Structure 1
Amino acid sequence: MTSVSRMSSSNERQSSPEEQEFREAMSSFPTGVTVVTTFHEGVPYGMTLNALTSVSLDPRLLLVCLSSTSRTSRAVIDRGMFRVNLLAENQAAVSREFARRGADHFADRGCSLDEHHLPELPGTLGSIVCEVDAVHRGGDHKIVIGRVLSCQVRPGSPLLFFSGSYGRCTLVA
């Protein structure tokens, strides 16, 4: 499970053929695109990810996989709360922005802070607010289990990610 970002920096190690093969296999599975946000010690944090799934309805739990080296991962764990923003089909630029490391993702974004003091992105299909329930190590990622506090859903179509590209959902039958 990886974040959507395919960008690399010069100080990242080269992937092995096995890692490339696994990455290619996973990219053949289409996913929705989200941005996880939090606010910790006066600073907003956010990152694009597609590693998200429901875990349980009772209690309501979901999991996200966050890169162990990201500042957002550390902030989510330290703060103990996060928001999953569900991106709409017209938000590929938002996804790309939050996939970049070190950028001021929130500049000119029009985000608001909710009652939990968590950043909410405008124009999304909705969001899920969670309290961190558990954190597990999963290779080079942190598997964060979130206890769902609230959900918001708005009409629209989701942004999809497949084979390294963004797309739209077409329903059949």
Structure 2
Amino acid sequence: MSSEDFRAAMARFAAGVVVVTALGDDGVPRGFTASSFCSVSMHPPLILVCLANSADSYAAFASCEHFAVSVLGPEHRPLAEQFATKGADKFASQGLSLTPGGLPAVAGALVELDCETHARHPGGDHTILIGRVSGARLGEGTATPMVYYERSFRLLA
């Protein structure tokens, strides 16, 4: 199977969209957009997210002890695109806030998770980052999630 065939096949799997943030060793905030995010375990509460080894923020996540995950709604599309753009100043725009632990997060996210780094595993050209959830905050009201499907951000009807 060619890599393009595999890529096209995976593009047909709808996935939620998150922004993952941490502070680098230098104290500078780093982050990325991901659609490869899911729960792993209830006891202990674990999640996983996959980060490309070529990402600008790779070094920060290779050593961070804590990170935050913001589950996005459709109104967060500009931030999702910004955090997905290599070389962009991801923290230059409005729409960000701080978690109780002082990590950057997306203001008004559907869900905001505080995570302690539990494990890192190699996964081909990505790193599988497993976090132990130490805090969760639900956004106000009920909102529609944003999904990624066929290489585009979409809404559920």
TM over 0.5: yes
Q: Secondary structure at the residue paired with 2:2?
A: helix
Offset of 1:39 from its aligned partner? 1.5
State the distance in 1 between where 2:95 and 2:134 align.
23
Pairs aligned (count): 154
Match of 1:169 in 2: 156
Alignment of 1:144-159 (within 5 A): 144-154=129-139, 155-159=142-146
Structure with max Cα Rg: 1
With the length of structure 1 as denominator, give the TM-score of the two structures: 0.84
8 Å CA contact retained: 2:56, 2:86: no
Amino acid at match of 1:167: R
Q: Secondary structure at the residue paired with 2:80?
A: helix
- Percent identity reads 37
State the distance in 1 between where 2:116 and 2:11 align.
29
C-alpha deviations, 1:18-77, integer Å up to 9, x for none? 111011000001011111011122211111110011110000001111011223232123
What RMSD in Å do the two structures reach over aligned CA positions?
1.4
Match of 1:103 in 2: 88
The one of 129, 147, 152 aligned to 1:160: 147
Corresponding position: 1:29 with 2:13 = yes
C-alpha deviations, 1:126-158, integer Å up to 9, x for none? 211111111110000001111111111123111
Mean Cα deviation higher: 89-98 or 70-79: 70-79
Alignment of 1:17-166 (within 5 A): 18-40=2-24, 41-154=26-139, 155-166=142-153
With the length of structure 2 as denominator, give the TM-score of the two structures: 0.92
**Runs of 4+ residues over 4 Å off in structure 1:** none
Q: Secondary structure at the residue paired with 2:102?
A: coil
State the distance in 1 between where 2:66 and 2:59 align.
11
